[in-house]
Homo-oligomer: A and B are copies of this chain.
Amino acid sequence: MTRPPTSAERALGTLRELIMGGELAPGARLGEVELADRLGVSRTPVREALSRLAAEGLVEVVANRGARVATWTVAELEGVFDLRSVLEPQLTAHAVPNAGPGDVDELDALARRMHEVGAPGPAQDLDALVPLNRAFHDRLVTLAAHPTLAAALAAAIHPPIVRRNFLTYDEESLRRSLAHHTEIVAAVRAGDPAWARAVMTSHIANARAVMVRAARLQATAHPQEETA
């Protein structure tokens, strides 16, 4: 019997989705009464949700001045990728010995589908890549069976960065990214943790280059954007 979620939990989840989904832009003000009305609850569970989101780093609270959706600088973005570049290769290496034939097949299927929808041409569908990519990485994290590392990684990715991502990939970087997935499958199939770790390191480095470039462009295009 599943436990009915409390109002605070629903508020937490809803706010997380609103922020991660981009409906609440970075810097947007988060008034307690406004959110309470919007979610149909009182201010108490909203306060609790905001407090926890602040602990997660998704929102920033400035005592007596309310909460805003967290903003991030290019330096912070690079910091997040530094963290991913140590955690995710390690998790991948942990995953290798735990992957059975069925797991390898599933990863392989995901990688192939990503090639299908990601290949340039009329069938290209970049939006479909996002859930596939997430499924691929989540599968590896699950296989690693390492809750502590997984939690640290989840906390790192929280800053809503990976959200609208594949749109910013240039063609060469995208091709590289897809090839990385395929190569990771090969490394896992070969049972070689060091190989898998190395490919994942490259994978993150590639993503880092793409995201940092995009963030720099956006920073110069819209300096000091303040979404009220």
Contact = CB atoms under 8 A, between A and B. Distances in A.
Contacts of A82: 90, 146, 148-149
What DSSP secondary structure best describes chain A's contact surface?
helix
A3 to B, nearest CB: 6
A7 to B, nearest CB: 12
A86 interface: yes
B87 A149 contact: no
Contact of A148 (B48, B76, B149): B76
A138 interface: no
Interface in A4-58: 6, 8, 44, 47-48, 51-52, 54-57
B79 A86 contact: no
Contacts of A155: 152, 155
Contacts of A147: 76, 79
Count copies of this chain in the complex. 2
A90 B79 contact: no
Nearest to A147: B79
A228 interface: no
Interface residues of A, number: 29
A147 B83 CA distance: 10
A63 interface: yes
Given A63-B6, A155-B152, A155-B155, A146 B79 contact: yes
Given A52-B52, A79-B146, A152-B152, 5 more contacts: A80-B148, A82-B148, A86-B149, A152-B155, A155-B155
18 contacts: A3-B63, A6-B63, A8-B51, A44-B44, A48-B48, A57-B151, A76-B147, A79-B149, A82-B90, A82-B146, A82-B148, A82-B149, A83-B148, A83-B152, A86-B87, A152-B152, A152-B155, A152-B156
Interface of A: 3, 6, 8, 44, 47-48, 51-52, 54-57, 63, 76, 79-80, 82-83, 86-87, 90, 146-149, 151-152, 155-156
